[in-house]
């Protein structure tokens, strides 16, 4: 019985480390934009990790990613790292990935409901990002949403949908390997 508990903890650690690595790699697919918030695949990486590993492990993976970047490892978009990345114009999106991961990882049998909850997580991420951007750039919230949310909305919703669908066979394969 003790071995099973240890195996479960080890599996959780491995999955969370793998999830943080997936998010870090997806952050390096970057299309820079002139207003300081680039197009990346981070949203897809966060959604995929959460959809595959579940709310707890997906959120922990995302938290590990955020903490690694905060202490200076170059895991954020464009090989950036450091606390200034979190306190900068795009920083709200980085910590906004935490509630997004939690909601994207909710294991609901009803796929349309799971998609809706995941898009709700994306909305929370957008709110965090747009509010911080507005405060730092000295603009109102509507301007901020126009600049840093609208250009990304379609890509991000499609990223979440793709991640949720891709997670289905991955979860089945993991369950088969781990017998859980």
pLDDT at 2: 45
Question: Residue 4: its pLDDT value, please?
Answer: 56
The domain segmentation of the chain, as residue ranges, is: 2-170
Q: What is the pLDDT of residue 37?
A: 73
Coil/strand/helix, residue 125: helix
pLDDT by position in tens, the chain (length 180) = 444 555 789 989 999 999 999 999 999 998 887 876 778 899 999 999 999 999 999 999 999 999 999 999 999 998 999 999 999 999 999 999 999 999 999 977 888 899 999 999 999 999 999 999 999 999 999 999 999 999 999 999 999 999 999 999 999 999 898 875
For domain 2-170, give its CATH number from 3.40.50.1110, 3.40.50.720, 1.10.1760.20, 3.40.47.10.
1.10.1760.20
Question: What pLDDT score does 52 carry?
Answer: 95
In the chain, the largest separation of any two C-alpha atoms, in whole Å, equals 58
Instruction: State residue 6's pLDDT score.
Output: 57
Which pLDDT belongs to residue 1? 41
The DSSP code sequence of 24-81 is: HHHTT-EE--TTS--EESHHHHHHHHHHHHHHHHHHHHHHHHHHHHHTT-S-BTTTB-
């Amino acid at each position: 019985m003790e071995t099973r508990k240890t195996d479960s903890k080890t599996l959780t650690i491995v999955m969370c480390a793998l999830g943080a690595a997936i998010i870090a790699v997806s952050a390096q697919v970057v299309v820079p934009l002139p207003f300081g918030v680039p197009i990346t695949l981070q949203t897809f990486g966060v959604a995929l990790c959460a959809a595959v590993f579940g709310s707890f492990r997906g959120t922990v993976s995302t938290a590990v990613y955020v903490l690694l970047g905060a202490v200076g490892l170059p895991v954020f978009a464009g090989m950036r790292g450091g606390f200034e990345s979190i306190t900068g114009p795009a920083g709200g999106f980085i910590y906004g990935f935490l509630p997004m991961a939690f909601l994207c990882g909710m294991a609901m049998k009803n796929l349309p409901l799971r998609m809706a909850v995941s898009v709700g997580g994306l909305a929370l991420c957008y709110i965090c990002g747009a509010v911080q951007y507005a405060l730092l750039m000295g603009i109102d919230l509507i301007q901020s949403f126009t600049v840093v949310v609208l250009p990304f909305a379609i890509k991000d919703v499609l990223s979440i949908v793709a991640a949720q669908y891709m997670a289905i066979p991955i979860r089945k394969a993991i369950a088969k390997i781990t017998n859980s």
